[in-house]
Every structure is written in structure tokens, then in C-alpha cells.
Amino acid sequence: MRIAFLTAPEGVEEIELTEPWQAAKSAGHEPVLVSTQAGEVQGFHHLDKANTFPVDEVVGEASAESFGGLVLPGGVANPDQLRTDEKAVAFVADFFGQGRPVAAICHAPWTLVEADVVRGRVLTSWPSLKTDIENAGGTWVDEQVKICDHGPNKLVTSRKPDDLKAFCEAFLDVFAAEAG
């Protein structure tokens, strides 16, 4: 299965990109780095620059139809940039419209809020997003991983890098089941 990993050009929390990427690859999937610009994305370890990663596809040219699922890594700056990019927001919303599974960790649900896809859903995130999620019609819970199947697709969310092992296991199980 091709899995889109959507990031902004700068600000993605590196471990929230690399660990799910490797987990997807190890499970036999094809991870594809999608960004709002061609070139490379800059990873971060909290506020410090880390490695760069080559972009495979640009979001304005990519289609949700060509992917089996979507992973949204966190970092504070990453989803903050994505939620101001109309094409990125439309790309995320398209996964929900097509009923494809989505996984988001840490601050990544900001992009889900902007795409107006959290209404009626139960999800988790970094705690500072609680009010944003609730104001967008979602229910926020403080759990390591939350799988919500309200609506046409499943949504897997997680709080922080410490939850990555459980997050990876959950989204891989959900994506495999959805691929059926």
C-alpha cells in the first residue's frame, strides 16, 4: 500500500516522521513524502534542526486516490504551516471524503481541525490542542492512542513521541484492515 506522509517544508518533528515511516516500510508498505513544495523538508528535534528528507510528491500534484492512507507527523511548526496551505488542507479533507484511513500524532490534528473533519470524532493529541479540537466539534481524550471509526473512515491519533510504538502498531493495523 502507498502511504502518504504529509509535511510542511520545515518544522516536522523528525522522530514522528522517521519512526512511522520505517514502521510502514518494515510492514511492506511504500511510504511517500508529500509536501507543499518540491525539494527537501527540514526535520527538527524539538526546536533544533535535524536531518533533511527528499520530497517525493508535491501536494498540489498528488491525489488522495493514489494512496491507501495518510500519516500526519507532528511538530508545532509543521501542522501550523499545513493548515494555512489550501492545497494541503484539501488533500487531507479528500482522504476523509474518500473514506481512507488517516493517522495523526502530536500537533498534527491542527490540520484536521482546519480541514473540518473532527466534528463528531473522538481523538487525542498534544494536550494544548484540546480546546481547538473541542471548538471544532470533536471530543478530546488523554490516551496514548485513540482509534475513532465515526464517519466514513478510521482516524488514528496519538499524543507525543513517547507514544510512537503504540501509534505505529495502531495505524498499521487499521490501514491493513481498511485495505482488506
Q: Among all residues, which ones are annotated catalytic?
A: 106-107
Do you know the residue count of the chain? 180
Helix H or strand E encompassing 178: helix 164-179
HSE of 144 in the Cβ direction (CA atoms, 13 Å)?
A: 10
Strand segments, DSSP code E, in 8-101 are 10-13, 30-35, 40-45, 48-54, 57-58, 69-72
What DSSP designation does 130 have? H
6 burial type by CB count under 10 A (0-12 exposed, 13-18 middle, 19+ buried): buried
Q: What does the alpha-carbon distance between residue 2 and residue 68 come to, in Å, rounded to a whole number?
A: 6
Cell of 14: 523528525
Question: In Å, what is the CA distance from 168 to each residue of 15, 37, 97, 98, 165?
Answer: 12, 26, 23, 22, 5
